[in-house]
Structure 1
Amino acid sequence: MSAPVWFITGTSHGFGLLLSLQALHAGQKVIGTVRNKQHSLDAVQSIEQAGGNVIELDMTEPRDSIIEKVRTAEKIYGRIDFLINNAGYSTLGPIEFFTEDDASHQFRTNVFGPLFTIQAVLPGMRARRLGTIVNISSVAGQDALASCGLYAGSKFGLEGLSEALAKEVGSLGISVLIVEPGAFRTNFWKASVLRNVPAGEGYEGTPVDTVLNKFRGSAGKQPGDPEKAVDIIFQVVTGQGAAGHLKGQILRLPLGEDAVSRIEKKVQSVKIDIELYRKLATSTDFSN
């Protein structure tokens, strides 16, 4: 069997670049994407010198444009085995002050773009009854913090899309994986867009202020090692290595101690809520 083909969005840095290089060094084939090759010249050269291909793709492009570019890329090797929706960014600040453009750009990048790349690869995967779709979400896709309303909203949306997709295509031989990283030492925070809070609006000293200050102070000090995370993603996707047994067996892959801890607390909080309102909730059905 020929080497599998990866299509990875957002390969200019971070997880996307590292995963591209790991797959190439393993003898597999990679088509990566960047928004602008000139602005990401070092990453493009690294991928191409390792034997990969890079195309320009902006996840905010119209649906037809994204689908056309993905399907054109698919013709390079005749198929796409692994779609990795990695491209994304965060807009941070209190929900009160986000603009329509803030919201539109956040959701087009983190939800609509992945939706369209998925739509582009599904016909080929269905025809072969084989394929893997990986959507890089975040711990914020399970647990929303103050100041992360737009970002978490987009990742919650991506996770809902992924859950439904897994149920739709599982019987067709296609697996879906949601990756939920915590804080990893990439340039993600530096690439985030901060919506400034107008002075005197009452958010000083609130959880919004606390979380934003924590983010500012953590840049370059995040506990997560991106190379270790990418290694685990590679193993789960390919079925190789210590984590290979998880291939096709899990829907969610939290990464980082902070991610696991936050998700565990969120699950416990939901359980507590259910127990508190169980009788009231079940009382709303029609009586037999």
Structure 2
Amino acid sequence: MASVWFITGASNGLGLILALHALKCGHNVIAAMRNPTRSADAAKSIEAAGGKVFQLDVSRPQGEIFKAIETAEAIYGRIDVLVNNAGYSVLGPAETFSEREITQQFQTNVFGPIYLIQAVLPGMRSRRSGTIVNLSSVAGQDGTPTCSLYAASKFSLEGFSEGLSKEVSEFGISTLIVEPGAFRTNFLHAMEANENGIPEAYQGTAVDQAFGRFKAAAGKQKGDPVKAVERMFEAIVGEGQGGPLKGKILRLVLGKDAYGRITAKIEKQQSDMEAAREVTFSTDL
């Protein structure tokens, strides 16, 4: 039976590839874009494949998101798979982010996905089935210089997803966090530098060096986005190489680079735990 997918950020990158792949595999897809007119080529390709293009800015208030989902659910009568893919990153030293940048980063990467999840849950719960997929990042596990704000947003999304998964599993609703590394999409090209720039004190520091690495890596990422989408899709539907993972994992790491960074993070965290064991245990009554 064909499922109904609602995919945000479907105008390019992993979102667009996933929408087209799901359509190719016989599913119904509602592809959400902030501006379908500006993303006309993507919109045409999705419609030509049989999908529905849906205008949605995920940074809008909760009430608007709820109304949008009501409209979207009316297209096919339900939403079986929600993929929160829309998101972006603003880069810079932690001390320089403006209030506008902080608010917009969380509105897009955290609040929007939460509102969308809230909106689809009643229908999924009543049917006792559904899948929620939240696109995080390797940065959702491992924060790096210049990415503190982006990492904060993805850490937040992952924390919400963890709690959510434990609340809704008994209703037959599964949750999957996807943590991609560097894939050859337009993500790095679309990264925004903070509006206040880099203070002179940061010249030559880890922040400055990180900016240089991002610029050098754009367009040269080793990750194949088509393969990433195939593995993600398989883990969601329970088919192919990733099929055995369906319902068995909360996090799906994509890319050798992401695996290496997250493994190192876990090892450092375990090391910290062991080093502080006596201090930790000394605080009980």
Confirm or deny a common fold (TM above 0.5). yes
1:268 pairs with 2:267: yes
Mapped contact 2:9–2:86 kept (Cα < 8 A) = yes
Cα distance between partner residues in 1 of 2:25 and 2:98: 44
Q: Tell me the CA shift for residue 281 of structure 1.
A: 1.1
Could you tell me which runs of 5 or more consecutive residues in structure 2 were left unpaired when the two chains were aligned: none
Cα distance between partner residues in 2 of 1:200 and 1:83: 41
Counterpart amino acid of 1:187?
Answer: N
Residue deviations 1:90-132 (CA, integer Å, cap 9, x gap):
0001011100000000000000000000001000000011000
Q: Specify the SS of the correspondent of 1:253.
A: strand
Judged with a 3 Å threshold, the aligned counterparts in structure 2 of structure 1 residues 241 and 147 are, in CA distance, closer, same or farther, namely same
Judged with a 3 Å threshold, the aligned counterparts in structure 2 of structure 1 residues 175 and 120 are, in CA distance, closer, same or farther, namely same
- Name the counterpart of 2:76: 77
Q: Tell me the CA shift for residue 5 of structure 1.
A: 0.5
Mapped contact 1:94–1:197 kept (Cα < 8 A) = no
Judged with a 3 Å threshold, the aligned counterparts in structure 2 of structure 1 residues 196 and 120 are, in CA distance, closer, same or farther, namely closer
RMSD: 1.0
Structure-to-structure mapping, 1:110-129, within 5 angstroms: 110-129=109-128
- Name the counterpart of 1:97: 96
- Name the counterpart of 2:211: 212
Q: TM-score, normalised by structure 2?
A: 0.98
Q: TM-score, normalised by structure 1?
A: 0.97
- Name the counterpart of 1:236: 235
Q: Specify the SS of the correspondent of 2:176.
A: strand
Q: Specify the SS of the correspondent of 2:87.
A: coil
Residue deviations 1:124-170 (CA, integer Å, cap 9, x gap):
00001100000000000000001001100000000000000000001
Size of the aligned set, in residue pairs, is 285
Mapped contact 2:97–2:196 kept (Cα < 8 A) = no
Counterpart amino acid of 1:98?
Answer: F
Mapped contact 1:131–1:173 kept (Cα < 8 A) = yes
Following TM superposition, the consecutive aligned residue runs of length 4 or more in structure 1 with deviations greater than 4 angstroms are: 196-200
Q: Tell me the CA shift for residue 205 of structure 1.
A: 1.4
Cα distance between partner residues in 1 of 2:195 and 2:95: 11
Q: Specify the SS of the correspondent of 1:202.
A: helix
Counterpart amino acid of 2:256?
Answer: E
Q: Tell me the CA shift for residue 37 of structure 1.
A: 1.2
Cα distance between partner residues in 2 of 1:111 and 1:199: 26
Cα distance between partner residues in 1 of 2:199 and 2:128: 58
Could you tell me which runs of 5 or more consecutive residues in structure 1 were left unpaired when the two chains were aligned: none
Q: Specify the SS of the correspondent of 1:46.
A: helix
Mapped contact 2:145–2:210 kept (Cα < 8 A) = yes
Counterpart amino acid of 2:265?
Answer: K
Q: Tell me the CA shift for residue 220 of structure 1.
A: 0.2
Moved more, 65-74 or 252-261: 65-74
Residue deviations 1:23-82 (CA, integer Å, cap 9, x gap):
101111000111111100000000011000011101110001011101210111111111
Counterpart amino acid of 1:58?
Answer: D
Q: Specify the SS of the correspondent of 1:32.
A: strand
Identity %: 56
